[in-house]
Amino acid sequence: MDKLQIKTYLESNKDRFLDELFGLIRLSSVSADEKFKEDIIRAANYIVEKLKEAGADHAEICETAGHPIVFGEKITDPSKPTVLVYGHYDVQPADPYDLWETPPFEPVIRNGKIYARGSCDDKGQMYMHIKAMEVMNHLGDMPCNIKFIIEGEEEVGSNNLEIFINENKEKLKTDVILISDTTLIDNDTPSLTVGLRGLSYVEVEVTGPSRDLHSGVYGGAVDNPVNVLCKMIDALKDKNNRITIPGFYDRVIELSEEDRKALNEAPFDLDEYKKDLGIRSVAGEKGYTTLERVGIRPSLDINGIWGGYTGAGAKTVLPSKAYAKISMRLVPNQNNKEITEMFTKYFKSIAPDSVEVKVTPHHGGQPALTPTDSIAYLAASMAFEESWGKKPIPTRDGGSIPIVALFKDALGADTVLMGFGLDSDAIHSPNEHYGLFNFYKGIETIPLFHKYFSELHNSV
Amino acid sequence: MDKLQIKTYLESNKDRFLDELFGLIRLSSVSADEKFKEDIIRAANYIVEKLKEAGADHAEICETAGHPIVFGEKITDPSKPTVLVYGHYDVQPADPYDLWETPPFEPVIRNGKIYARGSCDDKGQMYMHIKAMEVMNHLGDMPCNIKFIIEGEEEVGSNNLEIFINENKEKLKTDVILISDTTLIDNDTPSLTVGLRGLSYVEVEVTGPSRDLHSGVYGGAVDNPVNVLCKMIDALKDKNNRITIPGFYDRVIELSEEDRKALNEAPFDLDEYKKDLGIRSVAGEKGYTTLERVGIRPSLDINGIWGGYTGAGAKTVLPSKAYAKISMRLVPNQNNKEITEMFTKYFKSIAPDSVEVKVTPHHGGQPALTPTDSIAYLAASMAFEESWGKKPIPTRDGGSIPIVALFKDALGADTVLMGFGLDSDAIHSPNEHYGLFNFYKGIETIPLFHKYFSELHNSV
């Protein structure tokens, strides 16, 4: 199997590959909301069917307490190394719908990009692996055994995946985990993600008076839970944008000057970055660059806030309750459960006596660092170099794939994060998209990884 | 006409009076939302019909650029003094509907109270005047000429009323304005409102990045407009709960120690107040009592806030926009237009460079003080004293009736605020209610006002 053979088969099947991906994207498999449950089931079944068509020995739906997990495998020779591909078929909610230029679950091509919810995260990136298996199968060259574990709850915390993995360690036994759910620096600058942030996500409820009040009759004499919530949120960061939760930074590893210098040498154009986001200036923790702020520093964001009257016109209400969804991104060595506890304790401690505060943890995940001195990383690096003609740069991403730490614990296997997306793909946002270049580049590069991983594995 | 005659007629017609009020309440005349437009029109027509049935010489719908105004009058003798009754048939939105024990537009009696949106504010209080006219008409004793101006936009700023009044000064010519849209201290402690706070109501929009972002990929490096909005809102008050807008207090009149002492002598039970609201402690501007905080001090409240993902579950979004509805209650001598300008200027000035801020004024109203040395006030005081057997206490309310200042300017007439509600009536809140005692007490007391006002007017 060489690059030319892969490209030839890919070229003559590219339209069908895209059609199949479109079929998957059209299923609105939003995991956060029960009303999409039917499409969740349809999406899982669709993947089972496509795994079989692509040459899997078998593929199955595995029921969980939540949305089902798809498992599939093609074992060609027990003496070959095994690659476990992880991906997810669930997607983020598409709200706000009115900001989409075309409907989120009706994929269209514009400017060489697939526009749809899940086009990149993670249907497009995950589906490359199924098509890569088809390519290798067609060429009659399977360098590794392949297993697939495609879940439906990644966007809501992967709670049932952990149980499933721990109950099926033998079935999932592997030499490496392969995941495409991260990004390249740009289409001309290949990169491999070696660090991911963890996540602690909570919802807070602040209750003031037991009923909504008239803001004229009571305003100024009774604490307003929205004002109080704003004050409490503001108190979570100091004037240098450092998070004020006691102990929050205790486990954060400060990088050496040398490592920071290396990190900041990655290609990055601040003007382009600001232009892409439509902002005049960036902002964040004092003393760190933008790349450091998302790569090696934790963060805290309000993902949603609501309270009082939010309809048309004016209502002079002093509301009874105010709510916010708050998430913290964590860096290696921080522990998400510990951080959630610290947040809860601190947030309650800064509440005035006039309100009640409830904190509900949503989900979390551990930060992760993947090794750069493994044969798996080397295989990925070689595959990228062959595909692009240049060596990939190791990078640290701001996002979270909690499953990486989980796989290491449960299966003892390291992960290779071989992402083909771009930061500008607007994942989790309206008008999410994924480049056709990236989709096809992935399908072309993945078989090369299998080839080099097998070669290196056998030569160890 | 004496109290006994009034009570006798009232007693034999009380069920019908209530049925008629229920008919009005069942019309969901929410002025803030266009989808209720049909019931707005039905409510206006209903009042025209009821004014005629109660003895008005004529009553009519007056079209405006917004919701119609109802005008009616009964002129029995040009030499008699004229009383102009102002009220409104529009109501606040009923959201959140799920907190209502019974549907907001299906009035029911529980524990001697009418539960429904508008039962107190202002359908119940306004309708007392129509029935009081019926009583006087039936008894053949109309001490004053009566005019009615009942609008449909009080809850959204009365913008078209101002135009209407200025264009119809002759038609509305009067000796006094009479309004029932305020409260008693309690059912055993009659009071007359002599001070009202003004209002400045704005909506703010804070825009960060031009699209919603993934909070992992960008969190920590790009200012989140929700966090920024919370910080800006928090910056509107200092640690003593004083509003920080430069110049905000410049025109506020500090009361003398003597006046403050008198104000604080009004019956007020802080424990009962906290118990009624379900709060452990009150909060407000340092150095002032609860009665002062709502009576003589301005305030600032967030009436609504929203931004980001507010649905079920978790979405890790760094939103593009955040919004809030913010209102300020003003005290006599502050100017609502000036305050709105001050707010706008200050709010924009405290925004970081990373966001855009838009401030849209919603509506406002001037604060007002009504004289206590007028024959109108004396007539109201005598009517209350005859009705309750004790003199009413003059009070300052925290709410706003912007129209009071407007009437003074346009018609040169002072207003008597003869309210029969209670602070605990939950106006603007779920489960708004109005006591049957209060409804009937109003119908009984109003004719006595007409009687004393006429007597005093003729003796001047």
B325–A315 C-beta distance less than 8 A: yes
Cis omega (within 30 of 0) on the bond before A96? yes
Answer whether B391's CB lies under 8 Å from B384's CB: yes
> Which one of A155, A305, A357 makes the best mutation probe of the B interface by having the most chain B beta carbons within 10 Å?
A305
Same domain, A24 and A166: yes
* CB-count burial class (<10 Å; 0-12, 13-18, 19+) for A1: middle
Answer whether A31's CB lies under 8 Å from A157's CB: no
DSSP letter at B34? G
ipTM of this complex prediction, to 2 decimal places: 0.82
- Report the chain B residue with the minimal C-alpha distance to residue A423: B217
Q: Which of A98-107, A229-238, B307-316 has the lowest mean pLDDT?
A: B307-316
Same domain, A170 and A209: no
B302–A214 C-beta distance less than 8 A: no
Distance CA(A211)–CA(A220), nearest Å, equals 16
Tokens 């919802």 found at: A203
Tokens 């509907």 found at: B97
Distance CA(A218)–CA(B287), nearest Å, equals 17
N-terminal to C-terminal alpha carbon distance within chain B: 21
Take residue A41 and report the two structure tokens written for it: 């089931």
* pLDDT for position B176: 97
Using DSSP bridges, classify how beta strands A299-308 and B299-308 pair: parallel, antiparallel or unpaired.
Answer: antiparallel
CATH code of B51's domain: 3.40.630.10
Residues of B in contact with A430 (CB under 8 A): 211-212
The range of the structural domain enclosing residue A76 comes to: 3-196+367-459
B109: three-class secondary structure by DSSP: strand
Same domain, B126 and B212: no
Residue B222 covered by a domain: yes
Compare CB distances from A353 to B213, B231, B280 and report the shortest one's residue: B280
Distance CA(A418)–CA(A397), nearest Å, equals 12
Compare CB distances from A398 to B216, B311, B363 and report the shortest one's residue: B216
Same domain, A238 and A371: no
Residues of A in contact with B226 (CB under 8 A): 233, 301-305, 324
**A303 part of contact set with chain B, CB < 8 Å:** yes
Using DSSP bridges, classify how beta strands A69-74 and A58-62 pair: parallel, antiparallel or unpaired.
Answer: antiparallel
Q: Last residue of a domain, which of B318, B350, B365?
A: B365
Active-site amino acid positions of B: 90, 154
> Does B347 have pLDDT greater than 90?
yes
* pLDDT for position A275: 96
A399–B220 C-beta distance less than 8 A: no
Take residue B99 and report the two structure tokens written for it: 């907190």
Q: Give the pLDDT band of residue B438 (cuts 50, 70, 90).
A: very high
**A361 part of contact set with chain B, CB < 8 Å:** no
Q: Give the pLDDT band of residue B402 (cuts 50, 70, 90).
A: confident
Q: pLDDT tens across B238-261, in order?
A: 999 999 999 999 999 998 999 899
Same domain, B90 and B211: no
* pLDDT for position B227: 98
> What mean pLDDT do residues B191-208 have?
95
Compare CB distances from A32 to B209, B279, B315 and report the shortest one's residue: B315
Element (H, E) at A150: strand A145-151
B99–A211 C-beta distance less than 8 A: yes
Q: Is the dihedral of CA B424, B426, B432, B438 positive or negative?
A: positive
Distance CA(A92)–CA(A207), nearest Å, equals 29
DSSP letter at B140? T
CA nearest neighbour of B245 among B336, B322, B350: B350
**B278 part of contact set with chain A, CB < 8 Å:** yes
- The total number of structural domains that make up chain B: 2
Answer whether A117's CB lies under 8 Å from A53's CB: no
Distance CA(B405)–CA(B413), nearest Å, equals 10
Amino acid at B232: M
Same domain, A247 and A360: yes
Compare CB distances from B219 to A220, A227, A329 and report the shortest one's residue: A329
* pLDDT for position B460: 79
B209–A277 C-beta distance less than 8 A: yes
- CA torsion angle for A240, A246, A250, A252 (degrees, to 10)? -50
* pLDDT for position A131: 98
DSSP letter at A142? -
Q: Give the pLDDT band of residue B262 (cuts 50, 70, 90).
A: confident
- Report the chain A residue with the minimal C-alpha distance to residue B397: A217
Residue B150 covered by a domain: yes
> What mean pLDDT do residues B73-96 have?
96
Tokens 């529980």 found at: B110
The residues, any chain, with a CB within 8 Å of residue B12's CB and separated by 6 or more, are none
Q: pLDDT tens across A83-102, in order?
A: 999 999 999 999 889 999 99
| Cα–Cα distances in angstroms (integers) from residue A252 to residues A98, A198, A298, in the given order | 40, 12, 8
DSSP A93-110: ----GGG-SS-TTS-EEE
Cis omega (within 30 of 0) on the bond before B209? no
Distance CA(B301)–CA(B295), nearest Å, equals 15
Tabulate helix, strand, coil % of chain B (nearest 5).
40, 25, 40
Residue A274 covered by a domain: no
> Which one of A205, A279, A328 makes the best mutation probe of the B interface by having the most chain B beta carbons within 10 Å?
A279
> What mean pLDDT do residues B13-33 have?
97
* pLDDT for position A159: 84
Q: Last residue of a domain, which of B330, B350, B365?
A: B365
* pLDDT for position A259: 86
Neighbour count for residue B11 (Cβ, 10 Å): 10
Tell me the percentage of chain B whose pLDDT exceeds 90: 86
> Which one of B153, B317, B327 makes the best mutation probe of the A interface by having the most chain A beta carbons within 10 Å?
B317
Q: Min CA distance, B406 vs chain A (Å)?
A: 19
Active-site amino acid positions of A: 90, 154
* CB-count burial class (<10 Å; 0-12, 13-18, 19+) for B192: buried
B237–A294 C-beta distance less than 8 A: no
Distance CA(A307)–CA(A311), nearest Å, equals 11
> Does B403 have pLDDT greater than 90?
no
* pLDDT for position A399: 80
Q: What angle do CA B230, B235, B239 make, to 5 degrees?
A: 115
> What mean pLDDT do residues B149-174 have?
94
* pLDDT for position A304: 98
**A240 part of contact set with chain B, CB < 8 Å:** no
A427–B354 C-beta distance less than 8 A: no
Tell me the percentage of chain A whose pLDDT exceeds 90: 86
Neighbour count for residue B246 (Cβ, 10 Å): 10
Same domain, B390 and B347: no
DSSP A159-172: HHHHHHHHH-TTTT
Distance CA(B197)–CA(B122), nearest Å, equals 18
Q: Give the pLDDT band of residue B396 (cuts 50, 70, 90).
A: confident
Mean pLDDT of all residues belonging to chain B: 95
- Report the chain B residue with the minimal C-alpha distance to residue A299: B220
* pLDDT for position A39: 98
Same domain, B216 and B121: no
Q: Min CA distance, A25 vs chain B (Å)?
A: 19
* pLDDT for position A403: 85
Q: Give the pLDDT band of residue A363 (cuts 50, 70, 90).
A: confident
Take residue B300 and report the two structure tokens written for it: 């600032």
Compare CB distances from B220 to A208, A319, A329 and report the shortest one's residue: A329
> What mean pLDDT do residues A329-354 have?
96
Q: Strand pairing partners for B357?
A: B206
CA nearest neighbour of A32 among A92, A118, A117, A85: A92
Residue A268 covered by a domain: no
Distance CA(B217)–CA(B318), nearest Å, equals 9
> Which one of A211, A263, A270 makes the best mutation probe of the B interface by having the most chain B beta carbons within 10 Å?
A211
Same domain, A91 and A118: yes
Residue B50 covered by a domain: yes
**A205 part of contact set with chain B, CB < 8 Å:** no
Q: Last residue of a domain, which of A342, A365, A388?
A: A365
Residue B33 covered by a domain: yes
Residue B107 covered by a domain: yes
CA nearest neighbour of B5 among B454, B448, B452, B453: B448
CA nearest neighbour of A147 among A181, A121, A182, A173: A173
> Does B266 have pLDDT greater than 90?
no
* pLDDT for position B379: 97
> Does B16 have pLDDT greater than 90?
yes
Q: Provide the CA B56 distance to its chain's centre, in angstroms.
A: 26
DSSP letter at A354? T
Which has more pLDDT, B6 or B400? B6
Compare CB distances from B220 to A285, A319, A363 and report the shortest one's residue: A285
B423–A222 C-beta distance less than 8 A: no
- Report the chain B residue with the minimal C-alpha distance to residue A221: B284
B312–A199 C-beta distance less than 8 A: no
CA nearest neighbour of A92 among A10, A158, A136, A153: A153
N-terminal to C-terminal alpha carbon distance within chain A: 21
B209–A278 C-beta distance less than 8 A: yes
> Which one of A240, A315, A423 makes the best mutation probe of the B interface by having the most chain B beta carbons within 10 Å?
A315
> What mean pLDDT do residues A451-455 have?
97
Helix ranges, A26-158 (H): 37-53, 123-138
Which has more pLDDT, B111 or A403? B111
Same domain, B127 and B224: no
> Does B421 have pLDDT greater than 90?
yes
Q: Min CA distance, B357 vs chain A (Å)?
A: 13
Mean pLDDT of all residues belonging to chain A: 95
> What mean pLDDT do residues A398-421 have?
90
Q: Give the pLDDT band of residue A158 (cuts 50, 70, 90).
A: confident
* pLDDT for position A177: 97
Q: Min CA distance, A4 vs chain B (Å)?
A: 35
Distance CA(A16)–CA(A19), nearest Å, equals 5
Same domain, B56 and B131: yes
Compare CB distances from A282 to B34, B222, B229 and report the shortest one's residue: B222
Take residue B215 and report the two structure tokens written for it: 């909070």
* pLDDT for position A365: 85
B305–A305 C-beta distance less than 8 A: yes
Distance CA(B288)–CA(B285), nearest Å, equals 6
The residues, any chain, with a CB within 8 Å of residue A12's CB and separated by 6 or more, are none
Q: Which of residues 364-383 of A touch B (CB under 8 A)?
A: none
> What mean pLDDT do residues B190-197 have?
92
* pLDDT for position A157: 80
Residues of B in contact with A355 (CB under 8 A): 279
Compare CB distances from A308 to B229, B284, B305 and report the shortest one's residue: B305
> Does B313 have pLDDT greater than 90?
no
B95–A309 C-beta distance less than 8 A: yes
Same domain, A425 and A395: yes
Cis omega (within 30 of 0) on the bond before B234? no
Residue A416 covered by a domain: yes
**A98 part of contact set with chain B, CB < 8 Å:** no
Which has more pLDDT, B298 or B396? B298
CATH code of B348's domain: 3.30.70.360
**A200 part of contact set with chain B, CB < 8 Å:** no
